[in-house]
Amino acid sequence: MATSPPPSGDRPPDFDVGIACARRLDEADPLRTLRDLFHIPPGGDRKPMRYFCGNSLGLMPRAAREEVQRTLDQWERLAVDAHFEADPAWYSYHEIFREPGARLVGARPGEVVMMNSLTVNLHLMMVSFYRPTSRRFRILMERNAFPSDTYAASSQLRLHGYDPGKGLVLVGGEETSVIDEAEIEEVLEREGDSIALVLLPGVQFLTGQLFDLARICRAAHDKGCKIGLDLAHATGNVPLELHRWGVDFAVWCSYKYLNSGPGALGGCFVHEKHGGDKELPRLAGWWGNDPGQRFLMHLLPEFKPVPGAEGWQLSNPPILAAAPLRASIEIFDRVGMAALRAKSVLLTAYLEFLLRELCDDDIALVTPAEPERRGCQLSLLLKKEARARHDALRRSGVTCDFREPDIIRVAPVPLYNSFRDVHHLATALAGGKS
């Protein structure tokens, strides 16, 4: 059931509905110049687009073009020699993400590798961490998981000879319901002995709910279950502590909040307690092999995995796809998730306040009202004329995401959204009232 926003007494005292408030907040924003690092597309009113769709595809960093062009130039000048003579060398290109990638998700160096795409990585991880037995074969997921995750889990069950109708344990109610962590704990306590894998998101794609991942991880491990996370909507959005929480594995994409372009490289975390286990079953490929043996495959045919997450690599990294990620992750590493989260909480609170003050009661907030239970996305349930109101937003120069039949997902991204963007969105949704 959709929940209503909190009473107006909960709003920060320095918010008001006038545009002067938005200007004041922008002037006080220590991260306001980060917006200049991105290309903002033109909107329908000949002004920069008010872009709130970073939860689907992040904006292009200005440095991305230079990184891709540098790679093309190296290919032109060096051809195959660029594997070792380019700067950075293509042979070890994936290693430049080792430490900043770990910092991004609260991991240790060696626990993170950028490779493949999200669902490919999910399947690779389930090969290693979904090891069903006749007694323990089920997979716990949320009822309304992102479809690709459901397809992946169902296909893994079938691959092992199990019926997804019996193998999937689903938590949560109707589509827009927030899931209480206590429900997950209760299901694990009751049925955990039959569950091999807990597979949940960091932030739920439709409702925008941020899960208490430390709590869920403890509950899963207490019942002997492995836990894997889909962090597509969490990485680059909220602070993460994957190593400390003891997550077994996690996967994510980098085209949403990480702004690395359509079809960009995904990311993968493997906890160090598993990273050195050479006996752990996995699908192997030559780039996961010991770097000293990669070009000796005809002499040393036995696979010798690199310790850590890099040992799950299959093929050499696609350098042209990795270049935009290099441009983006440098920004995250320089600014830090703590600073981005601080702005995100304020930006989202301001949006919520404006919606409550300006919009009619035919808009309900699906996303939890508590800042600690959400990222930057607010999902709005429109009780009438949902599609028409979304289309009107587009005409006003606002880009956000519509999910049939009646959900508008709005993501004020702290890297490039301003408080004036938020004010424009809210007043447009309210029909111009301010």
d(CA 401, CA 86): 40
d(CA 420, CA 275): 46
Q: Are 236 and 104 in contact (CB under 8 A)?
A: yes
Non-local (6+) Cβ contacts of 152 within 8 A are 119, 122, 123, 126
Question: Is residue 285 classed exposed, middle or buried when 0-12, 13-18 and 19+ CB atoms within 10 A define those classes?
Answer: middle
State the pLDDT at residue 319.
97
Termini Cα distance of the chain: 29
CATH number at residue 414: 3.90.1150.10
352 and 218 in a common domain: no
Give me 100's structure tokens.
């900043």
213 and 114 in a common domain: yes
Q: Are 169 and 199 in contact (CB under 8 A)?
A: no
263 and 232 in a common domain: yes
| End position of a domain, from candidates 292, 318, 333 | 333
CATH number at residue 179: 3.40.640.10
State the pLDDT at residue 43.
85
Q: pTM of the prediction?
A: 0.94
Whether residue 181 is contained in a domain is answered as: yes
State the pLDDT at residue 1.
27
Q: What share of the chain is helix, strand, coil (3-state, %, to 5)?
A: 45, 15, 40
Taking the chain (434 residues) in consecutive chunks of 10 residues, what is each chunk's mean pLDDT?
38 82 97 98 86 98 98 98 96 96 97 98 98 97 96 98 98 87 97 98 97 98 98 98 98 98 96 94 93 82 92 95 97 97 97 93 93 97 92 93 95 98 95 60
Give me 328's structure tokens.
């983006």
State the pLDDT at residue 3.
35
| End position of a domain, from candidates 286, 306, 333 | 333
Whether residue 71 is contained in a domain is answered as: no
Whether residue 183 is contained in a domain is answered as: yes
| End position of a domain, from candidates 333, 354, 385 | 333
The range of the structural domain enclosing residue 387 comes to 8-60+336-429
Total domains present in the chain? 2
Question: Is residue 356 classed exposed, middle or buried when 0-12, 13-18 and 19+ CB atoms within 10 A define those classes?
Answer: buried
384 and 402 in a common domain: yes
